């Protein structure tokens, strides 16, 4: 029997990749989605892992090895960071909230060992003690603060260790948005709370409205919100996913991969770009992660996430070649058959090259 109390509830369906260990839905995914969006329901996020980083040097140390500016992070303030390789490709992503003594990192569970191993190797002589705290805590998701959600239903004592508020709803300090026009994230509100196992048990047994991760995924896709477990592959750079918006500080000090971040943003263009696809639902075929996206029969990208939204219908996020025409009708080759898809541009083909660099005359050319 599962140790997750939410999976033992009536109607609970275990989630597939990338949310193994959590509840996918309780029998009514669209109803759960509406409840979650309204702030009525909470989500079991047992697919998350937790890394605790206590120690007086924690913020300056994390600042020096990641993409985010953390030196001024106040207790209770939330942000997110990326760990890049030397060529600027994304290796790990983490949600960060500090409580004044410990920096709490929330990640997808399969990422815990790799990120913790990297952090442990980078400690040197600094006063930090990163550890895997996944077994000590649980993570609960909600679209309003969990303290407010509990107060509306029962009040009383509760055990919330730390609460992360997703910064995706706006362009953070030092960030940059490639998406043009009105951004759906303006309506995005999301919290992930680290709680004790006893609190997790109480929430599961409360009888209050619950939603599964299927509901969360649909709302996330509609908000164009990238997720490391789904949208990132071995080639991904932050620009392709519009992740400069909330996870990269463009004017902070040196860190691994910074040269690529600055070069692509100022002088170049990301080779691929994130799009949202509105899928033809007439055949009730929903693509899966990794399904190819085609233009005229030729592959131009891959599906990263797909879901059925309660208002938009079947939608997906995909990463496609930068050169893919923005007005092209695409085709997704899914297991159940080909699915037509219309693009909604997130990262435009012209993203990047923001520096105003004057063009130099060719050698030998006349200048008057």
Characterize 310-342 residue by residue with b for buried, 16 or more Cβ atoms within 10 angstroms of its Cβ, and e for exposed. Answer: bebebbbbbbbebebeeeeebbbebeeeebebe
Same fold, 5-230 and 272-346: no
Q: What is the mean pLDDT of residues 290-309?
A: 97
Residue with tokens 């995706």, as numbered in its chain: 168
Residue 356 — very low, low, confident or very high, per pLDDT cuts 50/70/90? Answer: low
58-87 pLDDT, tens per residue?
A: 999 999 999 999 999 999 999 999 999 999
Whole-number Å distance between alpha carbons of 79 and 107:
13
Structure tokens at 227: 């997720």
Cβ pair 324, 304 in contact under 8 A: no
Which backbone phi and psi does 109 adopt, to 5 degrees? -50, -40
Question: What does the mean pLDDT of the chain come to?
Answer: 94
Whole-number Å distance between alpha carbons of 350 and 328:
16
Spans of all domains in the chain: 5-230, 272-346
Residue 144 — very low, low, confident or very high, per pLDDT cuts 50/70/90? Answer: very high
User: What is the widest separation between alpha-carbon atoms in the chain?
Assistant: 82
209-264 pLDDT, tens per residue?
A: 999 999 999 999 999 999 999 999 999 999 999 999 999 999 998 999 999 999 99
Whole-number Å distance between alpha carbons of 346 and 344:
6
Nearest CA among 95, 343, 39 for reference residue 229: 95
Which backbone phi and psi does 140 adopt, to 5 degrees? -120, 135
52, 94, 118, 318, 355 from 114: Cα distances, Å = 14, 12, 6, 25, 35
Cβ pair 238, 82 in contact under 8 A: yes
8-49 pLDDT, tens per residue?
A: 999 999 999 999 999 999 999 999 999 999 999 999 999 999
Whole-number Å distance between alpha carbons of 319 and 239:
12
Backbone dihedral region of 144: left (phi > 0), alpha (psi from -120 to 50 degrees) or beta? beta
Residue 158 has pLDDT above 90, yes or no: no
- From the CA atom positions of the chain, what is the Rg in Å? 21
Residue with tokens 């899928």, as numbered in its chain: 279
78-137 pLDDT, tens per residue?
A: 999 999 999 999 999 999 999 999 999 999 999 999 999 999 999 988 999 999 999 999
pTM passes above 0.85 = yes
Q: Which CATH architecture has domain 272-346?
A: Beta Barrel (2.40)
Whole-number Å distance between alpha carbons of 278 and 289:
15
* Percentage, residues of the chain above pLDDT 70: 95
Chain centroid to CA 213: how far? 14
pLDDT value for 360 = 46
Structure tokens at 187: 């309506």
146, 246, 320, 339 from 294: Cα distances, Å = 42, 30, 9, 10
3-state DSSP assignment of residue 242: coil
* Percentage, residues of the chain above pLDDT 90: 89
pLDDT value for 357 = 46
Residue with tokens 């997750």, as numbered in its chain: 4
Whole-number Å distance between alpha carbons of 265 and 260:
8
**5-230: CATH number:** 3.30.1360.120
Cβ pair 259, 88 in contact under 8 A: yes
Strand partners, 295: 298
Chain centroid to CA 75: how far? 22
């Amino acid at each position: 029997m599962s140790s997750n109390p939410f999976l033992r509830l009536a109607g609970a369906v275990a989630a597939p990749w990338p949310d193994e260990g959590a509840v996918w839905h309780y029998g009514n995914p669209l109803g759960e989605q509406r409840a979650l969006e309204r702030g009525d329901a909470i989500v079991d996020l047992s697919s998350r892992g937790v890394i605790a980083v206590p120690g007086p040097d924690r913020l300056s140390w994390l600042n020096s090895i990641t993409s985010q500016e953390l030196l001024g992070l106040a207790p209770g303030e939330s942000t997110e960071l990326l760990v890049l390789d030397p060529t600027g490709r994304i290796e790990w992503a983490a949600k960060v909230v500090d409580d004044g003594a410990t920096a709490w990192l929330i990640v997808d569970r399969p990422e815990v060992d790799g990120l913790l191993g990297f952090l442990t190797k980078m400690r040197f002589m600094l006063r930090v003690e990163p550890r895997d705290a996944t077994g000590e805590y649980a993570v609960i998701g909600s679209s309003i603060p969990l303290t407010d959600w509990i107060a509306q239903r029962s009040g009383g004592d509760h055990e919330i260790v730390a609460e992360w508020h997703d910064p995706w709803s706006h362009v953070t300090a030092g960030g940059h948005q490639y998406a043009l026009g009105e951004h759906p994230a303006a309506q995005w509100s999301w919290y992930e709370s680290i709680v004790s196992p006893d609190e997790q048990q109480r929430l599961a047994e409360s009888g209050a409205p619950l939603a599964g991760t299927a509901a969360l995924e649909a709302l996330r896709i509609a908000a164009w919100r990238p997720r490391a477990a789904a949208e990132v592959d071995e080639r991904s750079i932050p620009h392709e996913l519009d992740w400069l918006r909330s996870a990269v500080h463009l004017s902070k000090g040196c860190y691994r991969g910074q040269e690529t971040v600055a070069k692509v943003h100022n002088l170049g263009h990301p080779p691929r770009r994130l799009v949202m696809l509105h899928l033809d639902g007439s055949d009730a075929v929903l693509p899966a992660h990794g399904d190819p996206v085609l233009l005229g029969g030729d592959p131009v990208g891959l599906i990263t996430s797909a879901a059925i939204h309660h208002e938009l219908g079947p939608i997906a996020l995909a990463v496609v070649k930068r050169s893919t025409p923005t007005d092209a009708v695409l085709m997704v080759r899914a297991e159940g058959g080909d699915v037509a898809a219309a693009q909604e541009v997130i990262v435009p083909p012209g993203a990047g090259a923001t520096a105003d660099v004057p063009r130099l005359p060719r050698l030998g050319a006349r200048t008057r």
